[in-house]
Amino acid sequence: MPPKPLMGEVIQKHDSIGNNLQISQLIVDEGQRFRLNSSVYTDEQLFDLEMTRIFGHSWLFVAHEEMVPQPGNYATSIICQQPVIISRDENYQLHVLFNRCAHRGSVVCREERGHANVFRCPYHGWIFSNNGRLVGAAQRNGYPDDFLEWGLKLEPVPRVEIYRGLIFANLDPNAIPLAERLRFIRGYIDLWCDRSPNGRITLPEGTHRYEFPANWKFQAENGVDGYHGNYVHESFVNLLERSGERSAYDTTQARDAVGSRNFAKGLPFGDGLLERKDGMLGTFDYRNQSSYCQQIEEAYGPERADDIMMQRNIFIFPNLFLFESHIRVIQPTRANKTFIDVYPTYLAGADTEINEARLYEHERFFGPSGFGAPDDIEIFVCSQTGAAANGWLEFSRGMHRETVNELGETIGHSTDEIPQRSLYREWRRLMAEDHSSGGDD
C-alpha cells in the first residue's frame, strides 16, 4: 500500500478531486435546482481537505460541563481526529488539553470519564497535573536539575469557550468568537436548554457509541431530514399503531401538515433544524404532562413555554446535534467511516417520572436496540454504496417554495431539503478557503 500523502501534497493535488472537478464545481446551486456531486462522500483527498479546512477551523463540541462538574473530573474526546482531555483543576478552571505526552507522544489518559488530579503516561511514567503542567517523571535523575523548567506540558487547544454548558474548542487561534459563530442558532440552543424548568441540562453516566461504514455528512444531512421518516421508519410507525399508541395516519398527517410550526430551516454558518408541533419520532410528548407544562409556564411564561415545547432537531455545523432527548456528536474517521457519540440528557428540576419517561422513549427509538438508529445506519450504508457510482444527486426539494424571514432564516416545509442546502453552502465556502496561503482556490 503506498504511503499516505502529506497534507500539503493533498492540497496541491486538489484539482483531481471529485472525478477531476474543482471544489467549486462539486455543487451546482442555481434557480430551483441544487445538485451535489457524489464524490463528496467517497473521495479521500476531499476528506483530508475537510479535516484541514472545516474541522481544523470550526468550533467543535467536545463535552458538556455536566461531564466535568467538580475539581479532578475529566472526560476524553476527539477534535479533528486528535485526542483531547477535558479536565477541571482544583480552582474549578476548565482545560481542554491535547491527550499527548510531551515526551514520546503516547496518550496519557485512556478512559472516557473519571476523576484524577494527575495523568500518568503509560509509556515512561511522566506525570502531568490536570491543568497540563508536567510535575514529574520516572527515574528523574536522567534529566538535568532544570528539567521541570523546560515548559513541557500537555498542550492546550488554542481556543475554548462555553455556551449554556456546551463546551466548544477550536484549533484555529484566529477563529471568530463563539458568540459570533452561534448568533443565529443561539436562540434555539436556549429553547433546548429551557426544556428544564431551571434552564439546566444534566447528563447521566454512560455514552452510546457506534460506527458505520459511510461518510459523516450522511449523518449531518439525516438528523434534519424530515422527508425520510414516512419511509425509513415505517416499521416503527406501524409498531406504534399495533400497540395502540398512535395510528399511522395521525403520525403521517402530523409530519405532512402544511401550515405554521411545521418547518425545515436553514441558517447561516451551515446550521439548520426541523421544527414541528408534533410527529417527531422518538420525542417524548410533553404537552400531555400537565404538571410539567405548569412548571414551564411558571418558569418562562405561557408564550415562551409553548415555544419551548416545540419538537426540534437542531444541527450546529459541522459536528453537533441537539435532539430533544440527547446530544449527538459526529466524529469522522475516513471518507467511508464515521463514529457517533450519543449522550442522553436529563432535565434538571423536572420530576423524576418525566426524566424516566424521556429516557425510555429515547432508548426505544435511538438506543442500541432501538428502531431509529439501525434504520438510519442501513440507509447511510446504502447511500455510501450508491455514491461509488459517481454522479449527481438532487437536493432541490422545496427550493421553489422557500422563503427568508426577518431573522435571516431560510424556511420551508419540514420535508424540504433546506437544512441540507445550508450545510453544503457552508461546506463549499470553507472548502474553498486555503488558510495555508491566505487565499482562495
As a whole-number percent, the residues of the chain with pLDDT over 90 amount to: 79
Distance of CA 429 to the CA centre of its chain: 19
What pLDDT score was predicted for residue 344? 96
What pLDDT score was predicted for residue 8? 33
As a whole-number percent, the residues of the chain with pLDDT over 70 amount to: 94
Average the pLDDT over 388-404 and give the result: 96
Residue 175's region, left for phi above 0, alpha for psi from -120 to 50, else beta, is beta
DSSP 59-91: -EEEEEGGGS-STTEEEEEEETTEEEEEEE-TT
The order of strands in the sheet holding 134-136 is: 118-120, 127-129, 134-136
19-28, 89-98, 178-187: least confidently modelled range:
19-28
Rg (CA), the chain: 23
Q: What is the pTM of this model?
A: 0.92
pLDDT digits (tens, 9 = 90+) for 107-121: 999 999 999 999 999
What pLDDT score was predicted for residue 437? 54
| DSSP code of residue 133 | B
* Distant-in-sequence, close-in-space partners of 133: CB < 8 Å, separation ≥ 6: 153
Residue whose C-alpha cell reads 483527498 in the numeric block = 45
CA distances in angstroms from 80 to 84, 136, 190, 324, 432, listed in the order given: 10, 29, 26, 26, 18
Q: Is it true that domain 183-431 has CATH number 1.20.120.160?
A: no
CA distances in angstroms from 42 to 158, 373, 434, listed in the order given: 31, 22, 21
166-170, 235-239, 363-367, 436-440: least confidently modelled range:
436-440
Q: Which fold has domain 65-163?
A: Rieske Iron-sulfur Protein (2.102.10)
In the chain, what are the domain boundaries?
A: 65-163, 183-431
